[in-house]
Amino acid sequence: MSITLFIILATVLVSISGFGHGIAFERMKFNAYEIRRKKQFYRFLSYGLLHVDYMHLLVNMFVLYSFGRNVEAMFMVHFGKIGGLFFVLLYISGLVCSVIPSYFKHNKNHYYNAVGASGAVSAVLFSSILLYPQGSVMFIFFPVPIPAFIFGLLYLVYSAYMARRGTDNVGHDVHFWGAIFGVVFTTVLDPALFLSFLQYVF
């Protein structure tokens, strides 16, 4: 079983068991106030295994399945046997780093909560764009291929704008920082990938 499929399976099992919003859900969700007060740093990871409902879970896991397998395979090509470890680090670090800004912003707000793997999924998605900029993204409701790097730019602008507005319950800031982390992490592993990306775009 690939690493991507293992992550999906684990996330699906934990998420479905937590849909009832029981004790486990309350103890695992991201709550910056509880992390600061009780030093429950495990929440930086555990929140990524939870989702609000089936649609939330389906969207994140579909995107992870669509792009994660490619990133995992390309990491193995670029970095050999250690590529699998780098992929795991990309996902886990993306999960943690994408929510750090939220921690500093909300660590005195008891009512702020977050769940979902969106930050890690965004990191994987943008790593994919860097690795394969000539790829494209297409949506069911808009069946026209969008160049990956253009989609990435639009995604960042939209996430930053919506995070600034703060008018819905979606963690757009987590999407934004997860995306940035995916680019930075992949560039640090191999700066030549970023140079190739720039050469392709320009």
Domains annotated on the chain, with CATH: 3-201 (1.20.1540.10)
The answer to whether 90 touches 185, Cβ cutoff 8 Å, is yes
What is residue 144's three-state secondary structure?
strand
Decide: helix, strand or coil at residue 202. coil
- CB atoms near residue 71 (< 10 Å): 29
Instruction: Out of 20-24, 60-64, 165-169, pick the least confident.
Output: 165-169
β partners of residue 53: none
Contact 65, 8 (CB under 8 A): yes
**How many whole angstroms separate alpha carbon 88 and alpha carbon 91?**
5
C-alpha–C-alpha distance, residues 199 and 161, integer Å: 28
pLDDT tens sequence across 133-179: 887 776 666 677 788 778 777 877 877 777 676 555 556 788 899 99
DSSP character at residue 47: G
Among 4-8, 55-59, 125-129, the range of highest mean pLDDT:
4-8
Which CA distances in Å does 102 have to 73, 98, 99, 196?
31, 8, 5, 32
Q: Band the pLDDT of 46: cuts 50, 70, 90.
A: very high
At 179-194, the pLDDT tens digits run: 999 999 999 999 999 9
pLDDT at 107: 92
pLDDT at 135: 77
pLDDT of residue 140: 63
Q: How far apart are CA 158 and CA 165, in angstroms?
A: 11
Closest CA to 162 of 176, 144, 180: 176
Q: How far apart are CA 95 and CA 6, in angstroms?
A: 16
Q: What is the mean pLDDT of the chain?
A: 88
> How far is Cα 12 from Cα 171, in angstroms, rounded to an integer?
20
DSSP for residue 143: E
pLDDT of residue 128: 93
